[in-house]
């Protein structure tokens, strides 16, 4: 960032001071919590529904016919064009924002998990069949564990997506949130606050990603792969 004039983007050192002030005077935390509430509710819903849809679509023909096209269309249409629709359905409150994050998160979770399910070794499926596993046993013991590596990749995408998707949404009817703070800072040219925001996103991104990879490493400890 050295090549930037300090006016375009504040020097990191100044931003640290600003960040500390915002923290100390209690401004930052409520915004952070507000955003976190939205982001993680959306994340939770998106991950849950994404996995369920991936299971329905990956393991049943009728599920695939019903679900896959809809998800493909959803992800092809920019959020901008969805906002008016969702406002009609859910109003301009929190529900609308969480819904849009939920659908944004759903996309990579669905695509990755679905592909991972489709990529399960046929040998394991044959085994499940000959062992007479029930549908539920098959899902819990074979399909989900087999799709876990793909699911974790999508989770890594999702944990940052839920935050970045929020920036645009926190333009609509909100007085809280990091996105709101960033947008307001842009309106008034407060580059130090923008840099604080970038720092927050970067830290959140690195920490969430590291966390997911930690859980991943534990849950996939059985694997004998290049990355271990």
Partner 1 sequence: ALTEDPDTTLAVADQSELVRNLLDASGEASKLGFKGSFPNFAGGPAILEAMRAGALDIAYVGDTPPIQARAAGTLLPIVGTFTRKVAQYRLTSRPGLVIHKLAELKGKKLSYVEGSGRQVFLIEALNRAGVSLKDVELVNLRVADLPDAIRSGAVDVAVLTEPHITRLVKQVGASPVLDPLERQILPSTSYFYARPEVLAEPGKAAAIGSFLGAFARAAKWANANRQAWAKYYYTDFQRITPDDTAAIIAGESPLEMQTAAEAIPHHQKLIDILYQAGSLKERFDAQTSFVDTYDSIVSAER
Partner 2 sequence: MTIHAPSFGPVSLRNLSRGFGQKTILNDITLDIPRGQFVALLGESGSGKTTLLRALAGLDDDAVTQGDFRTPRNTSVLFQDARLLPWMSVIDNLTLGLRRSDAKVAASAMLDSVGLGDKADVWPATLSGGQKQRAALARSLLRQPELLLADEPFGALDALTRMRMHGLLFRLVERRKPTVVLVTHDVDEALLLSDRILVLKDGRIAEDHQVALPHPRSTGHPTFVELRQTLLRSLGVETNLV
Query: Could you list the residues that contact a copy of itself (CB under 8 A)?
Result: 4, 8-9, 58-59, 69, 72-73, 75-81, 84-85, 88, 107-108, 111-112, 115, 117-123, 125, 149-150, 152-153, 156-157, 160, 163-164, 167-168, 179, 182-183, 186, 191, 194, 197-198, 201-202, 204-206, 208-209, 223-228
Residue entry with tokens 């507000």: 34
Q: Taking the mean position of all CA atoms in its chain, how far away is CA 124?
A: 30
* Cα four-point dihedral sign 38, 31, 175, 8: negative
Say which entry of partner 2, partner 1, a copy of itself, none residue 55 contacts (CB below 5 to 8 A, set by partner kind): none
Q: Tell the smallest beta-carbon distance from residue 114 to partner 2 (Å).
A: 19
Long-range interactions of 24-29: CB distance < 8 A, separation 24+:
28/181, 28/196
Task: Identify which of residues 24 and 88 has a Cβ nearer to a copy of itself in the complex.
Answer: 88
Give yes or no for a contact between 152 and 160, defined as CB atoms under 8 angstroms apart.
Answer: no
Q: Torsions phi, psi of 60, nearest 5?
A: -130, 145
Task: Identify which of residues 120 and 182 has a Cβ nearer to partner 1 in the complex.
Answer: 182
* Residues 100-129 within binding reach of partner 2 (CB under 8 A): 123-124, 126-129
Q: Tell the smallest beta-carbon distance from residue 175 to a copy of itself (Å).
A: 18
Give the tokens for residue 46.
Answer: 């998106």
């Amino acid at each position: 960032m050295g090549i930037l004039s300090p006016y375009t983007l504040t020097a990191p050192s100044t931003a640290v001071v600003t960040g500390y002030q915002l923290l100390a005077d209690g401004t930052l935390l409520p915004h952070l919590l507000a955003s976190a509430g939205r982001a993680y509710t959306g994340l939770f819903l998106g991950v849950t529904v994404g996995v369920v849809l991936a299971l329905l679509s990956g393991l049943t023909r009728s599920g695939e016919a019903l679900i896959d096209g809809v998800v493909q269309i959803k992800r092809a249409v920019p959020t901008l064009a969805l906002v008016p629709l969702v406002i009609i359905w859910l109003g301009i409150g929190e529900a609308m924002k969480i819904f849009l994050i939920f659908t944004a998160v759903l996309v990579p979770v669905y695509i990755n998990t679905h592909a991972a399910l489709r990529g399960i070794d046929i040998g394991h499926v044959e085994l499940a069949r000959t062992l007479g596993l029930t549908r539920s046993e098959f899902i819990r013991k074979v399909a989900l564990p087999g799709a876990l590596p793909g699911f974790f990749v999508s989770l890594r995408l999702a944990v940052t997506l839920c935050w970045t998707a929020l920036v645009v949404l926190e333009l609509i009817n909100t007085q809280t949130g990091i996105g709101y703070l960033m947008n307001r800072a842009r309106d008034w040219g407060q580059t130090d606050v923008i840099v604080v925001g970038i720092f927050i996103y970067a830290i959140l991104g690195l920490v969430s990603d590291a966390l997911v990879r930690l859980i991943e490493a534990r849950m996939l400890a059985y694997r004998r792969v290049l990355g271990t």
